[in-house]
Amino acid sequence: MKFALIHRIPGRARFRAERAFGLRTASTLADGLYGIEGMEGVRVNPRVGSVLLLYSGEDVLEAACRLLNCADQLIGPEPERYVPAPVVPQPDDGRPSLFPFFRYLFLRPILPFAVNVVNAFRASAPYLKRCLDSLTHGRLDVDALDGTAIAISLLRRDFRTVGLLTLLLGFGDALERYTQKRSLENLASHLALQADKVWVRREGADMLIPFQDIDENDLVTVRDGTVIPVDGVVAEGVASVNESSLTGEALGVMRSAGSSVYAGTVVEAGEIFIRPTSIGRDTRMQQIVRFVENAEQLKAGIQARYEKMADRAVPFTFALAGLVFLATRNLTRAASVLLVDYSCALRLATPLAILSAMNEGVGRKVMVKGGRFLESLSRVDTVVFDKTGTLTQSRPEVAHVISVPLEQGGVDAVQGEEEVLRLAACLEEHFPHPVAKAVVHAAEERGLQHAEEHAEVEYVVAHGIASQWRGRRVLLGSRHYISQDEGVDVSHMEATISSLAAQGCSLLYLAVDGVLAGIIAMKDPIRPESAALIEHLRGMGVPHVMMLTGDDERTASAVAASLGITEYRSQVLPEDKARVVQELKDAGRTVLMLGDGINDSPALSCADVGVTLRDGSDLAREVADVVLMGGSLNELVTALELGRGTMRRIHGNFVATMGLNSLFLAGGLVGLLQPGLSAVLHNLTTLGVSLNAMRPTLGGR
């Protein structure tokens, strides 16, 4: 029997046999494949001859291929008739099959009694083993409950009930694995790179080869509209590459020989030949996917609390079952009590609700990096905004250029607006900061040539620039830097400064040899959605909205007033933002900080929830707990509603689980429910709250 590889993405591969095969073959293949070190999951479907593998490395896949190639020697001849195996939970990550129910309802009644007895003991063995393991380690958990209930049924020779219990428990285990795995797969699939075949240039000719055959010596060919399948360095060609899948920036960037490119990004125009540096699971895109898959480990506090609460209920259930047996001497009633526990639904529904919400968030351009951040989002009562690039569009424009006249103490070598702007552009052209770009752009618009005439530039982060120009010391920066740090007197221009600040302008000061030479007023257009967002937050019941800015008091006041913000801090240095956030937390507030710059990163880390935009700095996106991938502030509302809706869903599932299972427990106590019916109702409850957990949190919005 031969197997062919029909589909493959990094870490996941599907093979198809030339024909269907039997259960014994499926079991043998599954056991052999699971024995390969690094194999993370195996699903064998004998009816369609399919084998699905989840693996951790290329060497694991190669070992699996070798095993499948010699399947005939491994399996031997398939018998013509095969008695169905007993219902034993299989290590299968796939969709739960309904075939065991068919087997229980229609095949079990016609099998000899002795066969059913053997099958009952074989099906019970895994649960009894887990029960003994829990008891010998001093744990009274769900495994102990299930195993004890099955043991009681075996002692009573109620093999029909044993078969039903193992069937339901096995199906419940399979359902839990499947739903949780599917939720994680759906979440990761929004980012995962899908590539089966790629074009490569070998010996001067282009050829289409399977993705897994890419060699590090190949030149991968990527043309217009094609996804780049590997991380690598451009060896030849020029292309515009859209890197929004990684950076959130929608505009294409030019990539030519020597430039780095990343898997998952798209060539918009042009053609490039890439020398791979990382393939498959080592690419940056797949690192993102693995991060998302691991995000489930960031459990919400509510999840941990519910799990502990459910565990504490297990000894109570044991004690109650013991009292029932002492009072009634009826093992059936005691088993009915044991088969109702609270932890299954709570342990499954809570993480499913969180995973479902994270998945829905990605679909709505909101990436939440873990369950605990959803919980924090639900409790936010204070939202702190950085002004520049967050409430504003991060595209500052030069609104006014002021030259200080000689009669007011100006500088003779820098007279007139053009000379002030020319010198400022000469200094700023070395820096990618938005303000620097605005100054250079304004000079270019006026046709000003700003050739370098200065010495090496010293850049003081978040303060300004210092350099030597024609033998003079030149300073360009904020008032704090020019006036307080460098001692330049600006008081004689106070009337002009006040007028510009009242218009909401941010000011750059230019000084030469300690004398103020000019002022450049920058207008940072406010995002059109900012004011409506502030109002919406208050309507949602967020009582505190604060703005932080490095601008002076008058500018900060003007911007805050235009947005309807009553709490703000002006002239805040980067290192002070985290201190302000910590002060708010110390006052008992749950703080959400939204910023996009490198200097916002400490505050983002300090906040209960750090949020950044898609066009934020790499560092900000790294440390933020939530990324608004659509680039709109309105997505902040989506994030908050997602957090609140998820917690409401979890609380609702908790109430339903406790209420329904308590009713079933009472039914077992008074003898109204037999063990089999208790197990059915309990599993139906678990299924119901799980399906409820996976419903969209925000509905059709």
Which two tokens mark 576?
Answer: 């002070």
Q: Is the dihedral of CA 353, 359, 361, 367 positive or negative?
A: positive
> Does residue 53 sit in helix, strand or coil?
strand
- For 52, counting Cβ atoms within 10 Å of its Cβ (0-12 exposed, 13-18 middle, 19+ buried), the class is middle
> Would you mind telling me the total number of residues written for the chain in this entry?
701
Tokens of 396: 């500052």
- Residues facing 255 on adjacent strands: 239
- Tokens representing 617 are 């700095």
**DSSP at 111:** S
Cβ proximity of 475 and 465 under 8 Å? yes
Dist. CA 515–CA 426, nearest whole Å: 19
Q: Which of 158, 386, 524, 625 is catalytic?
A: 386
Instruction: Write the burial class of residue 130 (CB in 10 Å: 0-12 exposed, 13-18 middle, 19+ buried).
Output: middle
Nearest alpha-carbon partner for 642 in 569, 563, 699, 561: 699
Provide the b/e sequence for 329-340 (b: ≥16 CB within 10 Å): eebbbbbbbbbb
Instruction: Check if the beta carbon of residue 618 is closer than 8 Å to that of residue 599.
Output: no
Q: How far apart are CA 252 and CA 269, in angstroms?
A: 9
Closest CA relative to residue 599, chosen from 386, 436, 439 = 386
Beta carbons within 8 Å of 600's beta carbon, 6+ residues apart:
386, 574, 577, 593, 612, 616, 620
Per-residue burial over 207-223, b = 16 or more CB atoms within 10 Å of its CB, e = otherwise:
eeeebbebeeebbbbbe
CA-based nearest residue to 422, from 399, 445, 455: 445
Distance of alpha carbon 292 from alpha carbon 296, whole angstroms: 8
Q: Can you spell out the DSSP letters for 229-281? A: -SEEEEEEEEEEEE-HHHH---S-EEE-TT-EE-TT-EEEEEEEEEEEEE-GG
Neighbours of 569 (CB within 10 A): 17
Strand 397-403 relative to strand 515-523, pairing: antiparallel
Q: Output the CA torsion 306→307→308→314 (10° steps).
A: 110
Contact 116, 179 (CB under 8 A): no
The verdict on whether 386 is a catalytic residue reads yes
Report residue 510: phi and psi, to 5°.
-110, 125
Structure tokens that stand for 310 in this block:
């459910």
| Helix or strand (DSSP H, E) at 529 | none
| Exposure on the CB side of residue 476, measured as CA atoms within 13 A | 27
- Using CA atoms in the order 204, 208, 214, 217, what is the torsion angle rounded to 10 degrees? 0
Q: Which two tokens stand for residue 316?
A: 């109570």
| Range 532-564 burial, b when 16+ CB lie within 10 A, else e | ebbebbeeeebebbbbbbbbbebbbbbbbeebe
Contact (CB, 8 A) for 612 and 621: yes
Residues with catalytic function: 386
